[in-house]
Structure 1
Amino acid sequence: MGKIISRLKCIGVPILISMSGLLSIALLAHFLQKGLFSLWMISSYPMVNLTFTIQILALLISFIALGLMYLYNKKSFKTFFRLGLSSSGKNNSWSIYGPTVAAAFTIGTIMLMSAGVISQKGSVNHSFFALLPLVLLFSLTNAWSEEILSRFVIVAGLDGKMNPVTICWISGIIFGVAHLQGTPSGLFGVIASGTLGWLLAKSVIETKGLGWALLIHFLQDLVIFGAGAMIIAGQE
């Protein structure tokens, strides 16, 4: 019984860190949307200020999670906290899988977001280009925070304790559920995000690094935040 409890603790700690971090971000975003907390004012657009504030808080939470993981398992932390674009071993499968997954999901995201941009009369004008630096910044910060919490914490924390496929499923489920109210939202959002999360966890496990996960996630966020900027620009 003692060994079972000890094993459950080993498995539960990374999952708890991941879910607590994502839940904290979701709650803070909810409170900010309700006006219960003040926003950092960097723009005349309320949505930009909301997004900026959420991103800053999410970054803080991601760094806290990194610190906890370093204390939890230094060896595993050092193994996976690197870029790593090549698969470990002789078979460099991610030199093929990486670009393929990146292209497939990015094209899909473009098609999905294009419908929203068209329906809301988005525009590429001077306002869009003024927002472009923030689009790049938000894409980077969001990809970083979500990959640390949904991928790195799970993979590094569970490596050697569970088989790789199970780790991928856990990461995918957590990432999918976290996007229930995200972009895209609903059941489709959960399935699409969960599938992407599964694949990105696989990339982290097989490359022993975050490179492909961060890059692929960044590309999706670039499309999503870019579409948001077009919609904001079209309202002028």
Structure 2
Amino acid sequence: MSNLARFDQNGIELVINTVTGAAYATQSGYARMSGLSQQAINKRCKGYNQSELESAEADLGHGLQGYNLIPAKLVYRWLVKDNPELSLAMGEAGATVYLHQLAGFKVRTSAITPAAPALPQTYVEALKALVQAEEEKEQLALENSMQAAQIDELEEDVDHLFELVDELFYYSSIVRIAKLNNVNEKNYSWRKLKAASKIKAVEVKQAPCQRFGVKNLYHSDAWKLAYPEAKLPAASNLAVL
């Protein structure tokens, strides 16, 4: 059964059907509850009326195996003799549920879930819980701050990329325009381009260059004024420096 879930409470192995809510003890689990040996419980189960035991094949943490599960009502019946003290505690807990049923009061549950965390019982425990909560809050704030910083850094990178694209589209070196027009670089004068840049009030930029260490980049407005007949790069030529 895939709807069987194993629980280990202080070494007592229990099994819950998470769909129906039915509760069982494994043979080793009941042995621990009763204080008897597991061999004695195994022997009892083999000689017992099998219709009162639940046979199931499931993976309860030991691989897929066949199990004889002991239903809750049989656990209580056996404990009366094997461990009267525990059976009394179980009976007292079950009495409340039984009285609810007699009164027609239903306690509904739709799922088996782990128990909620225990509330602090002392001032010291409450103080520790408060300190832990504050530390977790600070950690979360730090993580959010780091994420915000990463986003800002990414936005700066994007802005820089847009600036670079803008630069590549509007600014060109003499080498670039010479290659594009298939002419010698000496056809273009940096003095003329610098003068045109001054007239057009556009900046002359610089970029790294393997040949000269650095090269000047002139705005398209300067190129159009100085060399109106020159072919300038379009968007498809941005990769050509």
Q: Considering fraction of residues, name the structure with more strand.
A: 2
Q: TM-score range by the shorter chain?
A: under 0.3
Task: Report the TM-score, using the length of structure 1 for normalisation.
Answer: 0.19
Task: Report the TM-score, using the length of structure 2 for normalisation.
Answer: 0.19
Point out the structure with max Rg over C-alpha. Answer: 2
Q: Considering fraction of residues, name the structure with more helix.
A: 1
